[in-house]
Amino acid sequence: MSELCYASMSDVAKRLQQKDVSVLEVVQSCLDRIEKTEPVLHALLARNAEGAITKARELDASGPDRSKPLWGVPVTIKDVILTKGLPTTAGSKMLEKFSPPYNAFVTDKLLDAGAVVLAKANMDEFAMGSSTENSAYYPTNNPWNPKKVPGGSSGGSAASVAAGQCFASLGTDTGGSIRQPASFCGCVGLKPTYGRVSRYGVIAYASSLDQVGPLTRSVEDCARVLQVIAGHDERDQTSSPRPVPDYVTGLGRRKGLDGVRLGIPQEFLGEGISSEVREVFEDVRIRAEKEGARISLVSLPHTKAAIATYYILAMAEASSNLARYDGVRFGFRASESRELLDLYVRSRSEGLGEEVRRRIMLGAFVLSSGYYDAYFKRAAQVRRIIRDEFTRVLQECDALLAPVSPVAAWDHGSNANDPLAQYLMDAYTLSLNLAGLPGLSLPAGLGKESGMPIGVQLIGKAFFEEDLLAVGHALERILPSIGNPSM
Ligand code: GLN
């Protein structure tokens, strides 16, 4: 394998600027890696090899541009993010033939920064799932062990980064879909504060929770990608006008973990956590303490209500967002139908997968008159309580330290027929989406039983990504390196 593929993005970006290596060489090494690994991984949907080579030649001909921080850097993009002229399916048969007429805000930002898009990354249909097994096309395999799932819903993004197919990928996180696959595949994933990154051109799942973020192989690379995609966008009304700090320079603002106050939510270490995840987490705690971090247990008493709250709200929003796929205006249309209602029913029944249909039905139910007060309204109230609890504990800490998932990557098929079992696995990730807070997942070790990567999560204050990344950068240095998968 060419060494280049596993170089850090920050190094490669520097070498490209210095013309120490050409864009074509870098792009070609990633394309070779894709050729070699895709027959096993299935991490990618639409590929853009020709477009990438053409772009690489153009960039090499015009020469490095210092104003473009990702000049010549190959990336992949989750297939829920619109890419003009490159098919965007959201992992659904419903959008099989959809080629967007415009780019998402984040796609434009990457291109403006000089990045080269190699492919779209596989995902659970409409970002609903935790294993990428809900993709309408094929499941993605974990580069550490193809019998295991890569996590989800951004499983294709995480697998492509971990396997050295690209230097960074964009994912989306509604209830953990960046952080959990990052943890399962052994890479770094950041879910930014709600409103930090524009959702314009991102196919909606649950709009009050969805957020785009980077998956990379280091915290520094993550800061560099966030720097490019963060910022105000008037086309997303929830986009924040707050100025974007310099995340890369900010990495140096913590000279280590000395004196950093980390709170561990005690509710995240209870029942259901596997012994190998507990062990890795305990090791992280001891290492951090040795480096001078001040660690305390904190309490988020409503954690037990978070899963129910999240799934009620996410399904309600999904049922409304996905109403547009009616067989008339977008995407798939059933070939035989008798009249209009029949066309809607057939198109939605045939074009949408089982999990998506389940969520639309449950979402419509919790919004229906007679049940709205009991479910939707209550969930919205509990969401507020959860947010207030986070705000309270974050007043006394710099960040919270927690596991990402109660288990390491599971075997394909093992949870596939039990949606509730999968929903329960999201216990440690989804509550901060409800609170709108940023969360950073870092690889922390390999599980003793499974041999699979296990991540740890830092949760920060709203819009304090600068400090969250700085603490993550300091923590990363003291965690054991898990290396790269041998494939
Ligand atoms: N697993 C969660 C769900 O299925 C989260 C998915 C996501 O973050 N997009 O809803």
| SS3 at position 261 | strand
Closest to 350 (Cα-Cα) out of 19, 93, 24: 93
Amino acid at 53: I
Q: What is the pLDDT of residue 402?
A: 98
Ramachandran category for residue 253: left, alpha or beta (phi over 0 → left; psi -120 to 50 → alpha): alpha
335 alpha carbon, distance to own chain's centre: 35
Pick from 190, 202, 205, 315 the residue to mutate for probing ligand 1's pocket: most ligand atoms within 8 Å of its CB. Answer: 205
* Cα of 319 from ligand 1 centre, angstroms: 15
Closest to 444 (Cα-Cα) out of 295, 281, 235, 206: 281
Q: Counting atoms of ligand 1 from 1, which one is nearest the CA of 314?
A: 10
* Cα of 24 from ligand 1 centre, angstroms: 36
User: What are 393-409's pLDDT values in tens digits?
Assistant: 999 999 999 999 999 99
Whose C-alpha lies nearest to ligand 1, atom 4? 129
- Which candidate in 131, 177, 239, 347 is catalytic? 177
Residues with Cβ within 8 Å of residue 338, at least 6 apart in sequence:
none
Q: What is the pLDDT of residue 255?
A: 87
Ligand 1, CB within 6 Å, residue ranges: 127-130, 153, 173-177, 205, 314, 426
Whose C-alpha lies nearest to ligand 1, atom 5? 175
Averaged confidence pLDDT in the chain: 97
On the question of pLDDT at 1 being above 70, the answer is: no
Q: What is the mean pLDDT of residues 270-284?
A: 95
| SS3 at position 168 | strand
* Cα of 92 from ligand 1 centre, angstroms: 15
Q: Which of 130-134, 199-203, 262-266, 416-420 has the lowest mean pLDDT?
A: 416-420
User: What are 147-176's pLDDT values in tens digits?
Assistant: 999 999 999 999 999 999 999 999 999 999
Whose C-alpha lies nearest to ligand 1, atom 10? 128
User: What are 172-219's pLDDT values in tens digits?
Assistant: 999 999 999 999 999 999 999 999 999 999 999 999 999 999 999 999
Pick from 125, 172, 177 the residue to mutate for probing ligand 1's pocket: most ligand atoms within 8 Å of its CB. Answer: 177
- Which candidate in 153, 169, 240, 347 is catalytic? 153
* Cα of 310 from ligand 1 centre, angstroms: 9
Does residue 177 have an active-site annotation?
yes
DSSP of 175-243: SSTTHHHHHHHT-EEEEPPTTTB--TTB--SSTTT--EEEEESSHHHHHHHHHHHBS--TTSTT---SP
At 408, list the tokens: 């390491």
Does residue 296 have an active-site annotation?
no
Domain boundaries of the chain, sorted by first residue: 2-257+437-478
Asked if 41 contacts 146 with a C-beta cutoff of 8 angstroms, the reply is yes
Q: What is the pLDDT of residue 159?
A: 98
* Cα of 103 from ligand 1 centre, angstroms: 23
CA distances from 35 to 1, 12, 49, 116 (A): 12, 21, 10, 17
User: What are 245-254's pLDDT values in tens digits?
Assistant: 999 999 999 9
User: What are 398-453's pLDDT values in tens digits?
Assistant: 999 999 999 999 999 998 788 888 898 999 999 999 999 999 999 999 999 999 99
Residues with Cβ within 8 Å of residue 335, at least 6 apart in sequence:
none
What global pTM score does this model have? 0.97
Asked if 86 contacts 120 with a C-beta cutoff of 8 angstroms, the reply is yes
- Which candidate in 29, 55, 68, 78 is catalytic? 78
Q: What is the pLDDT of residue 487?
A: 87
Q: What CATH number has the domain spanning 2-257+437-478?
A: 3.90.1300.10
Count of C-beta atoms within a 10 Å radius of residue 271:
7
pLDDT-derived band at 337 (thresholds 50, 70, 90) equals confident
DSSP H or E run through 459: strand 453-459
User: What are 37-93's pLDDT values in tens digits?
Assistant: 999 999 999 999 999 999 999 999 999 999 999 999 999 999 999 999 999 999 999
Does residue 78 have an active-site annotation?
yes
Q: What is the pLDDT of residue 2?
A: 56
Residues with Cβ within 8 Å of residue 119, at least 6 apart in sequence:
34, 44, 45, 46, 47, 48, 76, 77, 160, 165, 166
190 alpha carbon, distance to own chain's centre: 7
